[in-house]
Amino acid sequence: MTEEMKERLEQMGCPAGVHTNFRNDMTYGDYLRLDQILDAQHPLSNHHDELLFVVIHQTSELWMKQMIHELQAAIQHIVSDNISSALKMLSRVSRIQSQVIQSWDVLSTLTPAEYIEFRNSLGQSSGFQSYQYRIIEFFLGKKSTPIMEIYSHKDEVKNMLEGALERPSLYDVAIQALAKEGFQISSAVLDRDWTKTYKADESVEAAWLKIYQDVNRYWIYYQLAEKLVDVEDWMQQWRFRHMKTVERIIGFKRGTGGSPGVPYLRSTMEHRFFPELWDLRTKL
């Protein structure tokens, strides 16, 4: 680069030493593959607000990809008796959840009159079909075999879901860690069918209660419990904001994918992933 060019760049506010020749070097856009990402929004109508609808859902899926990455790592660390590292991953999951929750505030700027202008463009597609969201639910212990039929048309997706369905959940491995520590956990819990949704057990509650009653002795397990509560708390807030945003925009219409819409979303808030961690609070 000539001195004259350097001087012109500095006059335009470009700091000295900034690399400007990328004929043979990777740029920021190359590293992030921005050409592909920014070319992935293809609204099917001419309505101004459909782009917002697409971007919100695409970014949510990107965040869910990161959540799955963190949950997988957390599960592996707990299995390997490295709970302290798992705590970091679970903290990050909670922060991601808060980001996704805030995205509903942006989507809520879409009015019913605006959404109805392009809703038919969605066809039968629906957020209900998000396979990444299902994987997250499976990782957290809410399993469902019938729901797998939705994904039977894509072998790769179905295989991913089956893997998450058939493996112990985050809570299952946490309970296994308690058993390794010497807590008396029922064999019905330790040897259960991983494809079934977890249900509360008295032996698990007794173990967690003992941990909360002697925090100093069981500090790492106490921290794990609270991180799990954080994840579930944020999950419930996520579900609530989703439900209220849908109600605000379409009322009680059925979802585009055929789901009952708001009544279904409301029913999901009744499920607890880690029931004993909530029940024991009354008994402390």
Q: Which residues are part of a known binding site for heme?
A: 242
What residue type is assigned to position 69 of the chain?
H
Neighbour-count burial of 147, counting CB atoms closer than 10 A to its CB (0-12 exposed, 13-18 middle, 19+ buried): middle
Q: Please give the annotated binding residues for substrate, written as ranges.
A: 53-57, 115, 119, 256
CB atoms < 10 A from the CB of 55, how many? 16
Q: Please give the annotated binding residues, written as ranges.
A: 53-57, 115, 119, 242, 256
Per DSSP, 128 falls in state: G
CA-to-CA dists, residue 103 to 31, 184, 241, angstroms: 25, 43, 9
Task: Report whether 207 contacts 183 (CB < 8 A).
Answer: yes
Instruction: Give the C-alpha separation, 209 to 160, whole Å.
Output: 35
Instruction: Give the C-alpha separation, 245 to 109, whole Å.
Output: 9
